Structure formats: structure tokens, C-alpha cells
Amino acid sequence: MKRQFLRAFLCVASGFFLAAGPAAAQQKVKIGFITTLSGPQGVIGADMKNSVELALDHLGHKMAGLDVEVFYGDDQVKPDVGTQVADEMLKKHQVNFVSGIIWSNVMLAVAPRVTAAGTFMIGTNAGPHELAGELCNELFFTTSWQNDQTPEAMGKYMTDAGLNDVYIMAPNYAAGKDMLTGFKRTFKGRIADEVYTRLGQTDYQAEISQLRAKEPKAVMVFYPGGMGIQFMKQYSEAGLRGQVPLYSVFTLDELSIPAVKYAALGQYETRIWSPDLKNPANEKFVRDYQKKYGGKLPSFYGAQSYDGIMLIDSAVRAVKGNLADKKGMIAAMRKANFNSVRGKFTYGHNHFPIENFYLLKAVAGPTPGSDPVMEVQKTVFTNYKDSYGKDCKMK
Amino acid sequence: MNLLLVAEQGLNGLQLGVMLFLMAAGLTLVFGIMNLVNLAHGSFYMIGAYLATYFTQLTGSYVLGVLLGLAGTLAVGVAVELLALRTLYEREHLDQVLATFGLILFFNELAAMLWGRAALYTSIPEYLSGHVDLLPGLRYPLYRLVIIVLGLAVAGLLWFVVARTRLGMLVRAGASNRVMVAALGVNIRLMYTIVFGFGAALAGLAGLMAGPIYVVQPGMGELILIEVFVVIVIGGIGSIRGALAGALIVGMVDTFGRAFLKPALATVLSPAAAQAAGPALASMLIYLLMAVVLALRPRGLFPARL
């Protein structure tokens, strides 16, 4: 009995020392990457994860000579699950960076928790206005945009095109409201109606009937992921495509095109990135992504996630692998000193990018029978800043 | 014009109600007769959609795809009953909930492994796409009309089977007193398998009809399952009549809430307040309705007669 106890004690003790050894020396860069990996929105998470893996391949799985370890977490589109996953990454895995996050409601729950723990939060998609303004934090950076900006670009384009009586729709959650607020900020024409639907809704027939009755001249929607696929299909099925032109943000992308196919032709989007954007970093990213993942095109979610890893790498290199030097890493990240797939951009004082926004159009694919592809038409905004920086107290 | 819009929304509500009914009928029968809480009912909806899509692509015929999809879902339902659920009848409801929740995870992952996580695109066959002018100014998608007609036909058939045939009589008897029916020499186990299989096939029918208008993807069943539970709670657990009434009420209330609640609120509140409250209230409406029904008639509108 006594001997058994002693043996057990030795086992536990040796395990403890083995575990404690490397942690004390901090030999690794640990990144916790949170995205949605299960359920209908899991396609987005898969694309982001693929892009992170590709970024690590390009970096040789090392940053400033240190090995990189990434822990993936699934938020299931739920803020409470997101915080649980983040807590596990912070406490159990002791990560140096938390990254990713698609949804604004999840981001609003997770980001303050991560930065309060003294850890970096590197967002790669969601850009709720609170984090650009009053809740800005020196440990928070994003490689995406502030939610309002992309629809602001669409509003500008549609105003310039002289459109009026526009019917606008979005899901009823943090980002949906940001998106339509942004659109209304720059769109100067009449708005026929503003409609919010349930987050994750599958059937839009009732809303489409209402829409048709209003006889708008154009429709502008924000329906990310699976919601967009459903909405666009039902819009076509209701016979509205061709009758009332559809404009969108974060709705038609490389993930939804395979599902809606030709119905997408001619639809406009605004974005910071497109697979056909001409710069060496992007050409390498798109080419290697297609090579690694069977010819599939990456989406903007993936492009931003790829940039997130590259941003972290730029900071780790700047401090020569000394991960305790947070001040040094903040200073390095503020320079955005890496080859972004969107081309050169800078950071505002609130750590949101100041970047270009393009108008994209779905055009016929390269070969007959292939799916439509997104193509850059023109630049709507050059070096465009978000509207909430004035509420951010950081210098 | 306005009246036509109300009529169109009525059809939308009817179509949603019919889909919910097909799901609810199987679920409520299984609960009423077998006393089994089956959370995995949504999985049959998904399986129906996937199998129909798969067989349609394989055979190149929509009708054949639908028939094979239905038969396939029936077979999967029977297999699940024989292999997994048989052992659960004598267990508590909590055990059944846990086990059938496990089945949800199993089927969702299986679908993701077989067909991938990305949504599948299925198209409506040529002869069912397009629109019908029901009245001047009232155009309605043909496919959704077909869903309504087919759904109502199935409801009628189901009523006939349960109310007028020998099998239906046994089903009703089994719901009231299982032990007595078994004692009279009826093979109750076989009956359970049949009822469960057909319940699964009805869910599969709803799923394969939903495929072309929504999208076919892993986890699609769970998106509708919550509403189906609301339906059977409102209608009364174990009652087909209740399931039909509950489904139509939920379909109508949800559709009209989404369409007209905001304009209605705008007449009494400020536009800004209506904009804020309308969508939130519309998405809660069916749950509020359920709460009211539970408060006034805890056993639902049409409780199963015992």
C-alpha cells in the first residue's frame, strides 16, 4: 500500500516536472484560433482553418525560430460557447495570442475577456463598432475591417449609380445593425424599407412577399454564410432576380457561389479583398491554397485569417521571439509590417486597418461550365478609415 | 393590393404549417404511443433530404429520387428503432433524451463525412419551377403550392389511416393502454417499429420537399426541430389532430408576425421603437403563444383522448 502510494506520487511528480520544464522556458508561440467548425456555418471555419494552416506552411511552422502551435476552438456561433473556448485557451493552453472569430456577438463576448487577461486578441473577421470606439484596447488588433465600412462602400457606390428606393435587409444581431447603419451613412437616396430577420433564419418567403409588395428599385442585403445561400436561392425562385437588382455585402463569396451557381451572375459586392487582386502575396496565397485544397478558391474569411497569422509573425520577429515584450509587439503590429494579401495597408490609432474597398461583380468562370467568380471592378474608397475611431481613447 | 398581400402571406403560412405538420405528426405519434422522447427526429428530415438529392443525381429522375429517398428514410427509421431505440422504452425520459441527442451528433457527422460540410445545391425540376397566377396580381411559386397540396393530402390520408383502419385502431388503442393491447395478443413491438418507421418517413418527406427551397446541409433538421416541439406542445402531445392544428397555427402566427408585426407596431409606436421591437417580438411570437397555451391549457389545445 505504502509502496503503491510512493510510486503514484513519483509518477505525478515526474509528470509535473516534465510539464513544467518547457513551459518555463517558453519555447513555443501558442495561438488559440476560434472559429465556427460545426453546423451550417462550419464551411466558413473550414476555410479559415485551411488558410491558417497554409500560412504556417509558408512560415515553415516557425516564428523567429520558435515553433508555432495552434489550438483550434469551435464557437458554434454562440457567445457563451466562445467565451468557454477562450477561457480554456487562456488557462489550460496558456496561449500568447487568441485569434479568429467570425461573428460580432461572439467577438464582443470574447475580446474583452482575452485582453483583460493580458493576452493579445487578433481578430480576423468580426469588426463590431464598440471595439473600434469606446472599447478599443491596445492588445486588440484586427486584420479585417470595422463592420460599417464595407456597406459604407456599397452605399457610396449605389448613391453614385443614382439608385433610389432601396430595400435593405439584415439578420437581427450586432453586425446586422452595424451593416445597415453603415449603409445608411453613405447612401443618400430613399430607403424603401429596413427589415431585420432572425439570426440563422432559413425561410425568407414571408419577407420576400413583403419586399415584392413594396416594389423597390433595388435590394441591398447582408446575409453571411448559410443564410445568404438560402436568401439568394429563394430570391431567384421568387422570380425577383432580373426584376429587382440585388446588391450585397458578405453574402456572395467563394463559399456560397458553388451553391447558388449561375443565379449569382451580375450580383455586386463590396470588399477589401478578392482572389483576383493583383499583388505577389495574394497571388502566392491563392495559388498555393488551390494547390493544397484541391482547386478550391479561398474566401475573404481565409484571406483575413492568413493575414492574422502573418501579423502575429511580424510582431514575434520584431521582438526576436521574446514573447514577454508585449510593448514591443504592440509597436510592431501598429506598423502592419508584413506582405498582406490585400496589399499595403496601415493601422489607425484604434488598431483597425485603414485600407481600400473595392467593388466586385460575379462574372462567368474561366472555363465553360465552371462556377462564376468574383472580379474587382473598381476601387470605391482608397485608404478608408472607420467612423468610430474618435470614441477611442488610445493614442 | 393589400388584401392580395395578406392572401399571399396566408399561403406562405400554410406552406410552413404543412411542413411543420409532417414533422410533428411522426414525433407526436412516437411520443404518444411509445412514450419515447425522440430528439433525433430532425435527423430523419435531414436524411430524407440527403437521400433524395443523392438518388436524384444517381438516377437522373426527380420522381425516382423522391421515392427512393422516402423508402431509404423509412429503412433508416426502422433500423434505428430496431438497433438503438428498442432498448430505451423502459428507461426514463432523461436517458432517452441523452441517447437520441447522441443520435443527432452521429447522423450529422455521418452526413458531413459522406457528403461534406458544405451545403448541397438541389434544383427544382423544370415542370415544378415557375409561378402560377392564382388571381390577377397574386403570383405564387408552383413548387410551394405543390408542397401545400401534397402536405394536406398526406394529412388527410393520415387521418383516414388512424381513424378508419384496423392499424389505426390498434395505434389508438396502443396509445391508451399498451399493456392491455399486448395482452390481447397484438404484436406491439412490430407495431412500434411500423409507427416509428412511418414517422421517420414523414419527416423524410418534409426534408426532401424542403431540400430545394432551403439548402441541404448537416444539422438542417435541428433548425426546424425546435419549432416542431412548439407545435406539439401547443397542439397537445400524442394527438394527430393537435399536431395539424398546432402546425397551422404556428405557421400562420410566425409568418404573419414576421410580415405585419412591424407595420402594425408602427401605427401605435414611434417608427424607431417599432423598428427595434418588431423583429425581436416577431421571432418570439410562437414561444409567447406556447407560453399562453401552456398557462391556459397545460395539455395543449387537442390533448390525446385517454
The range of the structural domain enclosing residue B284 comes to 11-119+138-296
Each domain of chain A, given as residue ranges in start order, spans: 27-145+278-351, 149-260
Confirm whether B133 is domain-assigned.
no
Span A27-145+278-351 CATH architecture? 3-Layer(aba) Sandwich (3.40)
User: What residues of A are in contact with residue B119 (Cβ under 8 Å)?
Assistant: 40, 43, 226, 229, 259
Q: Do domains A27-145+278-351 and A149-260 have the same CATH topology?
A: yes
Residue B44: which CATH number? 1.10.3470
To the nearest whole Å, the CA of A211 is away from the closest chain B CA by: 10
Instruction: Give the chain A residue nearest B215 (alpha carbons).
Output: A230
Q: How many domains does chain B have?
A: 1
**Would you call B118 and A43 a contact, using CB atoms and an 8 Å cutoff?**
yes
Which of B1, B6, B8 would you mutate first to test chain A, the one with the most A CBs within 10 A? Answer: B8
User: What residues of A are in contact with residue B217 (Cβ under 8 Å)?
Assistant: 40, 226
Confirm whether B284 is domain-assigned.
yes
pLDDT, tens only, A292-335: 998 889 999 999 999 999 999 999 999 999 999 999 999 999 99
Amino acid B270: pLDDT: 80
**Would you call B259 and A207 a contact, using CB atoms and an 8 Å cutoff?**
yes
User: What residues of A are in contact with residue B118 (Cβ under 8 Å)?
Assistant: 43, 255, 258-259
Whether the predicted pLDDT of B105 surpasses 50:
yes
DSSP 8-class letter at A367: S
Task: State how far the alpha carbon of A41 is from the alpha carbons of A51, A228, B218, in Å.
Answer: 16, 11, 10
Confirm whether B128 is domain-assigned.
no
> Helix or strand or coil: residue A278?
coil
**Would you call A233 and B15 a contact, using CB atoms and an 8 Å cutoff?**
no
What b/e string do you get for A364-395 counting C-beta neighbours within 10 Å, with b at 16 or more?
Answer: eeeeeeebbbbebbeebbeebbbbbbeebeee
CATH class of the domain whose range is A149-260: alpha beta
Interface of A with B in 79-108 (CB under 8 A): none
Instruction: Give the chain B residue nearest A259 (alpha carbons).
Output: B121
Confirm whether B303 is domain-assigned.
no
Confirm whether B253 is domain-assigned.
yes
Cβ-in-10-Å burial (0-12, 13-18, 19+) of B120 comes to buried
Percentage of residues in chain B having pLDDT higher than 90: 40
User: What residues of B are in contact with residue A261 (Cβ under 8 Å)?
Assistant: 121
Question: Amino acid identity, residue A89?
Answer: M
* Phi and psi, residue A308, nearest 5°: -60, -45
pTM of this prediction?
Answer: 0.83
Which residues lie closer than 8 Å to B120 by C-beta, 6 or more apart? Answer: A259, B50, B53, B211, B215, B216, B217
d(CA A195, CA A198): 10
User: What residues of A are in contact with residue B255 (Cβ under 8 Å)?
Assistant: 206
d(CA A204, CA A155): 23
**Per-residue model confidence as pLDDT tens for chain A (395 residues):** 455 554 555 444 444 444 444 444 457 999 999 999 877 788 899 999 999 999 999 999 999 999 999 999 999 889 999 999 999 999 999 999 999 999 999 999 999 999 999 999 999 999 999 999 999 999 999 999 999 999 999 999 999 999 999 999 999 988 899 999 999 999 999 999 999 998 888 889 889 988 988 899 999 999 998 888 889 988 888 888 888 999 999 999 998 888 888 888 889 999 999 999 999 999 999 999 999 998 889 999 999 999 999 999 999 999 999 999 999 999 999 999 999 999 999 999 999 999 999 999 999 888 887 889 999 999 999 999 999 999 998 87
d(CA A232, CA A241): 9
**Lateral strand order in the sheet of A120-123:** A62-63, A66-74, A28-35, A97-100, A120-123, A140-142
